[in-house]
Amino acid sequence: MKVTLFGTGYVGLVTGACLAEMGNEVTCVDVDMDKLARLKRGEVPLYEPGLEPLVRRNQANGNLGFTINAAPAVASAMVIFIAVGTPPSEDGSADLSHVLAVARTIGQHIRQYVVVVNKSTVPVGTAEQVRAAISEQLAARGAVVPFDVVSNPEFLKEGEAVEDCLRPERIILGSESARALAVLRTLYAPFNRNHERILVMDARSAELTKYAANAMLASKISFMNEMANIAERLGADIEQVRRGIGSDPRIGHHFIYAGAGYGGSCFPKDVQALRRMARGRAYEPLVLGAVEAVNHAQKLKLYDLIRRHFAGQLKGRTVALWGLAFKPDTDDMREAPSLYLMRALWDAGATVRAHDPQAGDEARRICGERADLVICDHPYQVLEGADVLAVITEWKLFRSPDLARIRDALREPAIFDGRNLYDPEAVEHAGIAYYGIGRGRSL
């Protein structure tokens, strides 16, 4: 099938490459010339396991192409995906200007029936706005071309995006058009094997499903972080509590890890946008407000522990930091807890020596050259001249540390374990003070 895809960000590029992998003829359109030039050379501008070989393979076999030229790509497509960004506006609502600009472009160039698919995370009601924007352009051209708009939210996770896209848990199709649904059932057939994954619903419910899923996951995390703060004060260990509650299948073991707070491009933005949507209809969502507030405080949790350890005297101290990315297997630092920790440490006069397997360049780009940030190429290099070590991203590389080496290198051996990776007793046995999240011994 001929598929055109607008936007070569995370969602667009992964979706395009996976659709090409299934034998479709996919054209990705973007407005960023530099990015397109890199993609044409087979360079993927983000770190995502498995994506680069997939892009290269499908470019080589002619299934995947990249262009700035929207008109021919729109005119020849059977299905057009909109996967451009919806960054938060100043007031926290999702900025739809890119989505609607693409809709207008589609309206200007379609020649035959197409299914327009919204993959971007968009506020409830956007499918109707996209439909109106396309219709307006058709009317301006004096053209009558049939089309449908379907809401088909994406649920992939960074770091596991290719796997999630090739083997989705569910495929949500928000549309009441039998014609559009038939086209998308055919397109998604290779992703819908062994058992039925397609859920059909109306467009508004599909749009809300995306926000509800992310808000539920963010709530689980904030709930556990709140439990961790309670456990810490009551002398209990959140890790034991986690195992205890996760064994109830109604609760489950996933997404109940207390830590240094959630980051990334999705949870913070989507929880905020959902709150805005509710407020727009005169409803104040109390749970969502608490989820955000807990997360905000949690991002400074490690800082609070470090500050307490040094009795508030951080000036001239050096903190070694393992991890910069908002989670492992990505170089993404959007809303990363590491940024909140580093900024608080810098404000207090401390220096940070950090290592991350992928996000070093991104940190340099965001933070710029500064004397109080040293990015090291090797995990143990961060320890040179450092007082203590904080761990904020759970990369596999940090899971089995050489404790003796850490103890010998640090001036005041202490580990601040922002992801509860280590056994407190083993760390203390090695002669290192241990601080975790909600582990009954930090306060």
Just list the catalytic residues. Answer: 266
Whole-number Å distance between alpha carbons of 81 and 28: 9
Stretch that binds ligand UGA, among 125-133, 249-257, 271-279, 357-365 (CB under 6 A): 249-257
CA–CA gap between residue 135 and residue 143 (Å, rounded)? 9
The backbone torsions φ and ψ at residue 382, rounded to the nearest 5 degrees and listed phi first, read: -65, -20
Among 48, 158, 226, 387, binds ligand UGA (CB under 6 A): 158
Question: Is residue 257 a contact point for ligand UGA (CB under 6 A)?
Answer: yes
**211 is a contact residue toward ligand UGA (CB under 6 A):** no
- Residue 225 CA to chain centroid, in angstroms? 19
First to last CA, the chain: 60
Order of strands across the sheet with 373-375?
373-375, 351-355, 318-322, 388-391, 414-417, 433-435
Q: Which of 188, 255, 346, 380 contacts ligand UGA by CB under 6 A?
A: 255
- Least Cα distance to 146 among 118, 111, 99, 173 occurs for 111
The answer to whether residues 261 and 336 touch, using CB atoms and an 8 Å cutoff, is no
115 vs 156 by CB, closer to ligand UGA: 156
3-class DSSP assignment, residue 136: helix
Q: Which is nearer to ligand UGA, 59 or 209 (CB)?
A: 209
- Member of 2, 157, 170, 343 binding ligand UGA (CB under 6 A): 157
Is residue 438 near ligand UGA by the rule CB under 6 A?
no
Site for ligand UGA in 164-203 (CB under 6 A): none
CB 84 within 8 A of CB 6: yes
Query: Is the Cα dihedral 141, 146, 150, 156 positive or negative?
Result: negative
What stretches of 160-285 show up as alpha helix (H) in DSSP? Answer: 161-166, 178-188, 203-234, 238-246, 267-280
Nearer to ligand UGA, 148 or 154 (CB): 154
x/- mask, ligand UGA, residues 114-153, rule CB under 6 A, reads -------x--------------------------------
226 belongs to the binding site for ligand UGA (CB under 6 A): no
349: which residues sit within 8 A by CB, 6+ positions away?
314, 315, 316, 317
Contact pattern for ligand UGA over residues 263 through 282, marking x by CB under 6 A? xx-xx---------------
The contact mask relative to ligand UGA for 310-329 (x = CB under 6 A, - = no) is ----------------xx--
Q: Compute the distance between CA of residue 187 and CA of residue 22 in angstroms, rounded to an integer.
A: 9
The reply to whether 259 sits near ligand UGA by the rule CB under 6 A is yes
Minimum distance from residue 99 beta carbon to ligand UGA (Å): 15
CA 296-301-303 angle, 5° bins? 115
Amino acid (one-letter) located at 203: A
**DSSP for residue 383:** G
State in angstroms the smallest separation of the CB of 214 from ligand UGA. Answer: 5
Q: Closer to ligand UGA at the Cβ: 65 or 268?
A: 268
18 binds ligand UGA (CB under 6 A): no
Q: How far is the CB of 159 from ligand UGA (least distance, A)?
A: 7
Q: For ligand UGA, which stretch binds (CB under 6 A), given 172-180, 258-266, 362-370, 400-408? A: 258-266
Q: How far is the CB of 121 from ligand UGA (least distance, A)?
A: 6
What residues line the site for ligand UGA (CB under 6 A)? 121, 154-158, 214, 217, 221, 255-257, 259, 262-264, 266-267, 326-327
